[in-house]
Amino acid sequence: MKNMTSPTVITEYMKSSDFFFKKNLGQNFLKDENVARSIVGELGGERKDAVLEIGPGFGALTQFLTEDYDDVTALEIDPFAIGVLKDVFSDTEGLRIVRGDILREDLPSLLGDQLTAGKRLRAISNLPYYITSQVIIKLLSSDIFFENIVVMVQKEVSSRLSAKKGTKDYSAFTVLLNYYADVVRCFDVSHTCFIPQPKVDSTVMKIIPLEKRRAEVSDEERFVRTVKAAFSMRRKTLLNCISMNFGISKDEAKERIASAGFDPAIRGEILSLEEFAALSEAMPL
Ligand code: SAM
């Protein structure tokens, strides 16, 4: 099989398939074989585990995934990249190439056979930057339990993943991630390892979903809505954010926030995960 991290091979395939890099799909392909191997190495587990790869591109990670695991599903949105993948991996067993948008995909249907077979699932992606947080939250909140999720994200996004409360990087994404999972920072990847080169460096993160959520809430949807509401307008008070996002009067919002034991004049960004859980219990369903 050809080496899909080689710039020469990538360029050849681009020419033969009319492929061009689409910025709006976050297409920066890895051209460093050692980095690709190391990212796949972070997934761990066993050969018999099933892996979902999101956004394989030309297969920089896929080539090593198929060496290490017997069951790989590669989900790619771009039909031109799908054409290249089908050609490159035509003789590879255990690889399923699927055209689709991860944001629209029904994961239990996509991975139905793997679930029926009782396989342990893992996910991996050099994530398109424009959907990083949506994809991670989708994987974590789905009915499927992933043993771990290895993602490469923009370096500045990685600080949001583990930010402390009250800091500028602390966001709804930080709180939700902490609710669902543990996060480990693995290593940084220079922007020079990609073709075309992005402006910023990246970081590989390992997300380990918890078997039990870190905080107890009676309604998960309401909890998520409360967290998103609290961060929706960073300069506004919790009172304004809650009243606006839940469509309730300021008087009602004030009463509900106070009944959970919080000052309505604070800003949401100073609340911890447990405090958000308590606040959400006082919100309307
Ligand atoms: N994994 C390859 C690599 O490391 O060289 C490509 C990584 S590139 C940063 C992101 C890939 O995700 C592209 O191939 C892009 O077409 C694909 N992609 C973008 N949006 C997607 C979506 N919504 N669903 C599935 N794939 C997507």
**pLDDT string in tens for the chain (285-residue length):** 899 999 999 999 999 998 999 999 999 999 999 999 999 999 999 999 999 999 999 999 999 999 999 999 999 999 999 999 999 999 999 999 999 999 999 999 999 999 999 999 999 999 988 899 999 999 999 999 999 999 999 998 888 888 999 898 999 999 999 999 999 999 999 999 999 999 999 999 999 999 999 999 999 999 999 999 999 998 899 999 999 999 999 999 999 999 999 999 999 999 999 999 999 999 999
d(CA 102, ligand 1 centre) in Å: 10
Q: Helix, strand, coil: what percent of the chain each, to 5?
A: 45, 20, 40
Q: Which residue's CA is minimally distant from atom 19 of ligand 1?
A: 25
The residues with which 151 forms a beta bridge, in sequence order, are 125, 205
d(CA 1, ligand 1 centre) in Å: 21
Predicted local distance difference test score (pLDDT) of residue 96: 98
Predicted local distance difference test score (pLDDT) of residue 174: 95
Predicted local distance difference test score (pLDDT) of residue 25: 96
Predicted local distance difference test score (pLDDT) of residue 185: 94
115 vs 95: CA distance, rounded Å: 16
Domain 7-209 and domain 220-280, same fold? Reply is: no
Q: Quickly tell me which residue has 């999101």 as its tokens.
A: 54
The pTM assigned to this predicted structure is: 0.94
CATH architecture of 220-280: Orthogonal Bundle (1.10)
Using CB distances shorter than 6 Å, the residues near ligand 1 are 25-30, 54-57, 60-61, 75-78, 81, 101-103, 126, 128, 131
d(CA 278, ligand 1 centre) in Å: 38
Q: Which atom of ligand 1 is nearest to the CA of 104?
A: 23
User: CB–CB of 51/72 below 8 Å?
Assistant: yes
Provide the residue ranges of all domains of the chain, joining segments of one domain with +. 7-209, 220-280
In CATH, 7-209 is 3.40.50.150: yes
14 vs 218: CA distance, rounded Å: 51
